[in-house]
Copies of this chain bind each other. A is one copy, B any other.
Amino acid sequence: MFSGAQISLYPMADDFVGVILGALGALDPYRDRLRIETDDISTLLVGPPEVLFPAMRDLFVAAARSGKHCVLSAAISRGCPGEPDDPICSSDALGGPAGPLGPRKDAAIAAVRGAAATGQPAAAQFSLYVMGTDDHMDEIYGCIDFLKQSGVYERSKHFCTKLRGDAGAIFSALDEAFCRFGPGAGHVTLDVTVSANSPSAV
């Protein structure tokens, strides 16, 4: 299965280039397990979820530690029928049968509650899209129910769910939403926004 993300980092600062360049070192521990390509809009990360989400977390936290208002935006995808399979994406986290929703929700809640803290507060919102099935709303509602019990749920919004908490738990919740909802071999995507240091945050 092919999996990866198009990510963009937006530091709201005159020195946005410096903040981005200063954060990129956070990707170094993951570089041998990712394929990375950058252009003027986004950076492609191709790799399995267990590498993608920690890599995005560490990049975001490194940028947020600048103290500037920073946002990470990502289009994350697995199982797109139009993408070639790639050995770098091989993962035990994907591909099995989905099984009943209840145990999947319980496993997701346990994972988020056990996520290591980073010390970086964050707010986030995301949408889960499940394609190629006629029961996609069951999976989406199951995911929302997991989020409500995850410890990082803030509220439902139109088109998305808003989270708030430590960046470690936030990225763990995104990882769990991505891997545990929708068919194991299905086409599933997330549209993600993670924010730190907003002057508008309550």
Contacts and interface: CB of A to CB of B under 8 A. Distances in A.
A130 B131 contact: yes
A169 interface: no
A40 B137 contact: no
A: contact size bracket: 35 or more
Interface string A78-122: 001111000000000000000000000000000000000000000
A193 B73 contact: yes
As for how many copies of this chain the complex holds, the number is 2
Interface in A1-22: 2, 4-6, 8, 10-14, 16-17
A10 B162 CA distance: 19
A136 interface: yes
Contacts of A134: 132-134
B42 A125 contact: yes
A116 to B, nearest CB: 24
A148 to B, nearest CB: 14
Contacts of A127: 75, 77, 189
Contact of A73 (B2, B11, B73, B158): B73
Given A16-B12, A157-B6, A40 B202 contact: yes
A14 B39 CA distance: 23
B191 A160 contact: no
Given A14-B14, A69-B16, A140-B82, A41 B6 contact: no
17 contacts: A4-B159, A10-B12, A13-B14, A14-B14, A40-B200, A41-B125, A42-B193, A44-B159, A46-B158, A75-B159, A77-B159, A82-B140, A82-B141, A130-B131, A131-B131, A132-B137, A134-B134
Interface of A: 2, 4-6, 8, 10-14, 16-17, 39-42, 44, 46, 69, 71, 73, 75, 77, 80-83, 123-125, 127, 129-134, 136-137, 140-141, 157-160, 162, 187, 189, 191, 193, 195, 198-202
